[in-house]
């Protein structure tokens, strides 16, 4: 009886807390994030990253499609969310919905922590105001077995490699070993589409969409077809390049850092990591940027900014790398006790980011549910030109129409590095 009375009074006290706006609540920060969602990862975010935050922070994971819905409901109702963590592309639609507060007062923080200019520019989301602060990043890099290094063409360096040198390299290796040791993740769940839209095509044309049927694009496809002659024919079965790298079937590969990780972690002495090659229009690469934004009319904007400052501290960026495998966006010295495989990747990511000819290319923005179809335009073009040997000119003409159809259906404006468009992005 006494126990149940105590429980009842406890419930009453608790409900009083949750009904009345308690002063303690405004001191806390509720952090809604589309990253680190699985139970274990979320728990690690709470206990290993946010536990030392200057303001008590409640970490709430949310599925990406639900993010705008959740924020809108919160803005119209309870006003609990202050801080939002999401991918660059997930922030983009939130701005026209008026769900984010401008963060111009954080520009100084970006400079102070050494966040690269190209990331800072992206964080303006094409407008005047800074809309989010870059938090952490992943990307796609190259990996090579040390056995392959002896076949590098004369004068070529890994850090400044070009696509034509990559082709020569693979050709040299094939001549010497009789094997095609260059590999791409062109399997059913591989990320080949990202290579084509974020690395290869923009390195030749300077963009992803607008110049899809330009002469530059045709040159690119012709070059890539020649390069593919030295690619392992099993590439159309590869999904994660770490596997063929570890088995020795492939010596030179491109893939997402998370999909190369095993190779570097298991045999850090056998592999090297290096930036993606450059084409005539620069070294295009696709950063996967996770940012931190403050919700409009946040109950605790000041607290949220304190948490941002905390998460951008170099030591926290290193902790984040250890916990999540997302790489720092600020200048940090990689600690010596970091897993040697991760160190290799971290160095390559930093090199790629800081290369003088580096050109960040965004993951497609604003395509919504049409993202898969957009990717398919690239993989279809690849299949037709490279695997089926169809005429480049005809294929790009045909696929450009298909791309326009996808863009029209999504009503997507152009995204960086293509120049901003009035209305739907148009293929020239």
Partner 1 sequence: MSRTATAPSESPLPLREGVGGRVSRRAALRPYILIAPSLIFLLLLFFIPLVQTIALAFRTSAGAGFGNFGKVWNDLDFFDAVKDTFALVVVAVPVQLALALGMSMMLRHVRRGRDLILWIWSIPLGISDLAAGLVWLAILTDKGYLNSVLFQLGVIPGPQSWLTYETPVVLFCAILTAELWRATAIVFMILVAGVQLVPKEFEEAASVFGATAWQRFCRVTLPLLRPSIQTALILRTVLAFETFAVVLAIGGTNFPVLISQAFIWQNQNQDYGTAAAYAVIVMVVSLTATAVYLVALRPRAGEPA
Q: Identify the CA nearest to 27 among candidates 51, 57, 50, 48.
A: 57
SS3 196: helix
389 binds partner 1 (CB under 8 A): no
Output 355 or 409, the one with its CB closest to partner 1: 409
Q: Which residue of 52, 64, 215, 248 would you call a contact of partner 1, by CB under 8 A?
A: 248
User: Which residues make beta-bridge pairs with 58?
Assistant: 30
What does the DSSP 8-state code read for residue 200? Answer: I
Distances (CA, A) of 92 to 103, 203, 405: 15, 24, 22
Contact letters (x/-) for partner 1, 203-242, by CB under 8 A? -----------------------------xxx-xx-----
Q: Which of 247, 269, 389, 423 binds partner 1 (CB under 8 A)?
A: 247
Among the listed ranges 11-19, 108-116, 268-276, 382-390, the one in contact with partner 1 (CB under 8 A) is 382-390
Minimal distance in Å, beta carbon 339 to partner 1?
A: 27
By CB under 8 A, name the one of 4, 51, 76, 369 that touches partner 1: 369
Taking CB under 8 A as the criterion, the residue among 51, 150, 189, 422 binding partner 1 is 189
Are 61 and 33 in contact, with CB atoms under 8 Å apart?
yes
Chain-centre distance for alpha carbon 121 = 16
* Closest among 34, 397, 401, 5 to 217, alpha carbons compared: 397
Q: CB neighbours (10 Å) of residue 220? A: 26
User: Do 244 and 126 form a contact (C-beta atoms < 8 A)?
Assistant: no
Please, what is the minimum distance in Å from the beta carbon of residue 178 to partner 1?
7
Task: Tell whether residue 365 is a contact of partner 1 (CB under 8 A).
Answer: no
188 touches partner 1 (CB under 8 A): yes
> Among residues 144, 141, 142, 138, which one has the least CA distance to residue 267?
144
CB 358, CB 118: distance < 8 Å: yes
**Does 375 participate in binding partner 1 (rule CB under 8 A)?**
yes
Q: Which residues from 143-162 bind partner 1, rule CB under 8 A?
A: none
- At residue 251, φ and ψ (nearest 5 deg) are -110, -25
Shortest distance, position 71 Cβ to partner 1, whole Å: 22
Tell which one of 109, 246, 355, 409 touches partner 1 (CB under 8 A). Answer: 409
Buried b (16+ CB within 10 A) or exposed e, 16-35: eeeeeeeeeeeebbbbbbbb
Q: Which stretch binds partner 1 (CB under 8 A): 150-158, 179-187, 212-220, 262-270?
A: 179-187
Select the residue interacting with partner 1 from 107, 223, 339, 373 (CB under 8 A). 373
Q: Let me know the angle formed at the C-alpha of 107 by 315 and 309, rounded to the nearest 5 degrees.
A: 30
Asked if 371 is part of the footprint of partner 1 (rule: CB under 8 A), the reply reads yes
164 within 8 A of 226, measured Cβ to Cβ: no
Smallest distance, partner 1 to C-beta of residue 372, A:
3
Least spacing, CB of residue 10 vs partner 1, in Å: 41
What are the residues binding partner 1 (CB under 8 A)? 178-179, 186-189, 232-234, 236-237, 247-249, 369, 371-373, 375-376, 380, 383-384, 387, 409
């Amino acid at each position: 009886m006494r126990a149940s009375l105590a429980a009842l009074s406890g419930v009453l006290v608790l409900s009083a807390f949750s009904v009345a706006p308690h002063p303690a609540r405004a001191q806390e920060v509720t952090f809604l994030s589309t990253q680190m969602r699985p139970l274990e990862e979320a728990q690690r975010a709470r206990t290993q990253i946010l536990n030392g935050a200057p303001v008590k922070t409640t970490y709430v994971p949310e599925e990406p499609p639900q993010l705008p819905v959740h924020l809108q409901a919160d803005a119209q109702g309870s006003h609990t969310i202050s801080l939002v963590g999401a991918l660059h592309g997930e922030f983009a639609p939130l701005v026209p919905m008026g769900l984010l507060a401008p963060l111009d007062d954080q520009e100084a923080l970006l400079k102070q922590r050494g966040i690269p200019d190209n990331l800072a520019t992206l964080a303006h989301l094409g407008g005047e105001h800074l809309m989010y602060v870059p938090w952490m990043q992943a990307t796609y890099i190259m990996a090579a077995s040390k056995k392959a290094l002896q076949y590098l063409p004369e004068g070529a360096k890994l850090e400044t490699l070009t696509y034509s040198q990559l082709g020569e390299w693979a050709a040299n290796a094939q001549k010497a070993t009789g094997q095609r040791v260059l590999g791409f993740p062109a399997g059913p769940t591989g990320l080949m589409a990202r290579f084509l839209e974020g690395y290869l095509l923009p390195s030749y044309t300077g963009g992803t969409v607008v110049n899809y049927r330009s002469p530059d694009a045709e040159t690119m496809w012709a070059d890539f077809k020649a390069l593919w002659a030295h690619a392992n024919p099993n590439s159309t079965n590869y999904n994660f390049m770490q596997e063929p790298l570890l088995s020795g079937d492939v010596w030179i590969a491109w893939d997402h850092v998370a999909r190369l990780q095993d190779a570097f972690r298991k045999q850090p002495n056998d592999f090297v990591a290096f930036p993606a090659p450059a084409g005539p229009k620069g070294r295009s690469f696709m950063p996967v940027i996770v940012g931190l934004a403050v919700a409009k009319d946040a109950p605790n904007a000041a607290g949220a900014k304190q948490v941002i400052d905390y998460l951008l501290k170099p030591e926290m960026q290193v902790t984040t790398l250890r916990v999540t495998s997302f790489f720092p966006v600020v200048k940090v010295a990689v600690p010596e006790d970091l897993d040697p495989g991760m160190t290799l990747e971290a160095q390559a990511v930093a090199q790629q980011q800081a290369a003088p000819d580096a050109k960040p290319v965004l993951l497609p923005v604003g395509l919504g549910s049409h993202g898969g179809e957009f990717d398919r335009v690239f993989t279809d073009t690849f299949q037709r030109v490279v695997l089926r040997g169809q005429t480049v000119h005809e294929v790009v003409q045909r696929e450009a129409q298909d791309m326009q159809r996808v863009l029209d259906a999504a009503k997507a404006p152009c995204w960086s590095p293509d120049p901003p468009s009035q209305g739907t992005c148009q293929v020239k």
